[in-house]
Amino acid sequence: MRFRGNNQKQSSSEASGVKMNRFLSLVLLVCALFGLSAPASAQIFRYPEDTRPASLLPFFAEDMSSVRMVELIFESLVFINKRGDVEGGLATGWEVAPDKQSIRFTLREGVQWHDGKPFTAEDVAFTVHAAQDPQTIFNAKGKYKFITEVQVEGRFSIRFKFDKPINEPERRFTFKIIPKHAFSGTAISRKDAFSRKPIGTGVYMVSKYSLRSVSLQIFPNYWGQAKITGILMQHTPDKSAQINLLQYSGTKSGVQAVVFVPPKNIPLFENSDSVVLEPYHTVSWWYMAYNHNNPSLANRAVREALAYAINREELLEANLGRGDVLSGPFTESSPFYNFEVEPRAYDEQRAAQILESAGYKLQNGIRQKGKEKLEFRFVLDKELASNQSLFLGIQAQLKKIGVSVKPQYVDHARYRELVFSQDNFDLTLNVWSFEEVEDVYPLFHSKGVMNFIHYRNAEVDKLLDQAKGMHDYKQYKEAMKRLHAMLDKDLPYFFLWSLDLYSGISKQVKNVFIQPYYYFTSFKEWELNP
């Protein structure tokens, strides 16, 4: 009976197998009819981006999606390698003058632009002249200010002179080089067609630029080597769709990387057979900014009370996952972080005491001193992930000490207008990101261009001015540590945390190294196994 039963089961499973095969044949037939089969041999690295790259012209590549793509298409004279050392890109060598006021680069010979034209020192000089042209309007213009003179000394040799002695000046030449022959003059507009049809010397060239996606193919005449033949970047604004796509990465299709995996999705991939979580640490930190033009927030006691009343560890763990709670304007990996300054511990009672001693009495659940009520308008950018849940946490914690905050959620453009242009906010939550090391002068100097909180402290200004003129790195580092301690005491912002970020990468991809800011700096070494 058992044997017979097995036979019956076998025959029924065979029958269902036949049915399944018929169904599959039908599916494949439909695919074939629509001409939809994908070429099996194409080795395409696919990844989604939250935003469209706004411009592929390096000067105007200001959003992270553009920065990553530009890294694949263009090259710089030098770049910072995995070990943090300077390595030659379009330059094969460099000599710094003994007075540290000039540098001469020897350029790589035989390099071609994607349109086949040769790369020369004229292109390097043109890039600097274009960047310094007053008609070329872009935000990172300050990066080129230190160059006072460019001398083309030969087809493959170029010298730069500086306004003052600079230590390790080669580190400042990581900007991308653009081709002179692609432009009619040094005044370059944001609207230039080059931003959609870029010509670089990088390992990948643009093969298709459409509304939602950019396809790159390997540049056959590239001077070096790369292992992956093509890249497809698709604008996929929905983060959950990106995570779904990453889950399909184990087989032939799906995406091979998601640049940033949100903390709530990390458990999905922690023990995954197909995806590995690659940690990387960006030079960026979160802050809660106080508008110092608000009389209540200009009072240091109020700022300190708010700082004691907010439990950063709890907010971080509940909303963003892992990271380091900070006491100043540097990340813990920064050479300027002052470890002697401990982050303020959460202390609700102390917060209440500070407000009490400052004369703010509790009336109907809100603290007030005369007519001055501790009620604030908290402006939040809808695009900053986790903002809503973070705000709710902060609101609940501040309510305990009698401080009321009312949210105003606005879209990105409106946020910029309210906070950075119109000064129309009391509190806000945001993140500062830096390329390599933090330059905080523009944030905290009373004349700093990014001092949108209107912070004014004569001692801080004096220290920042002194540090700006320092040529000795050790001295500068000590000054930054002193600044850290001063800012922790005076609290221009409430410094929150820096996050441990994770990228989701398919296990098909080998030799992965993620450069925290540019992401794809070492992409040439990445391999994609079938």
* Residues 6+ positions from 338 with CB-CB distance below 8 Å: 327, 328, 330, 481, 482, 484, 485, 488
- Helix (H) or strand (E) holding 161, with range, is strand 157-162
Rg (CA), the chain: 28
Closest approach of Cβ 60 to other proteins, in Å? Answer: 8
Length of the chain: 530
H-only helix segments in 248-286: 266-270
Burial code (b: 16+ CB inside 10 Å, e: under 16) for 132-162 equals: eeeebebeeeeebeebeebebeeebebbbeb
Of 236 and 296, the one with the shorter C-beta distance to other proteins is: 236
Of 338 and 506, the one with the shorter C-beta distance to other proteins is: 506
Which residues of the shown chain bind other proteins in the complex (CB under 8 A)?
A: 23-24, 27-28, 31, 34-38, 40, 46, 48, 52, 54-55, 60, 62, 137, 139, 189-193, 195-196, 210-213, 232, 234-238, 241, 244-245, 248, 251-255, 410-418, 420-421, 430, 432, 442, 448-452
Of 237 and 359, the one with the shorter C-beta distance to other proteins is: 237
Of 238 and 317, the one with the shorter C-beta distance to other proteins is: 238
Q: Kindly list the strands in the beta sheet with 372-373, ordered across the sheet, starting from the edge strand earlier in the chain.
A: 361-363, 366-369, 372-373
Closest approach of Cβ 291 to other proteins, in Å? Answer: 14
Closest approach of Cβ 232 to other proteins, in Å? Answer: 7
* Terminal C-alpha separation, the chain: 47
CA–CA separation, 248 vs 104, rounded Å? 49
Closest approach of Cβ 443 to other proteins, in Å? Answer: 8
CA–CA separation, 244 vs 85, rounded Å? 37
Cα–Cα distances in Å, from 415 out to 371, 378, 381, 384? 29, 11, 6, 11
Of 1 and 33, the one with the shorter C-beta distance to other proteins is: 33
Of 213 and 311, the one with the shorter C-beta distance to other proteins is: 213
Closest approach of Cβ 339 to other proteins, in Å? Answer: 28
CA–CA separation, 443 vs 430, rounded Å? 13
Closest approach of Cβ 260 to other proteins, in Å? Answer: 17
| Tokens describing residue 308 | 């004691």
Of 450 and 485, the one with the shorter C-beta distance to other proteins is: 450
Closest approach of Cβ 139 to other proteins, in Å? Answer: 5
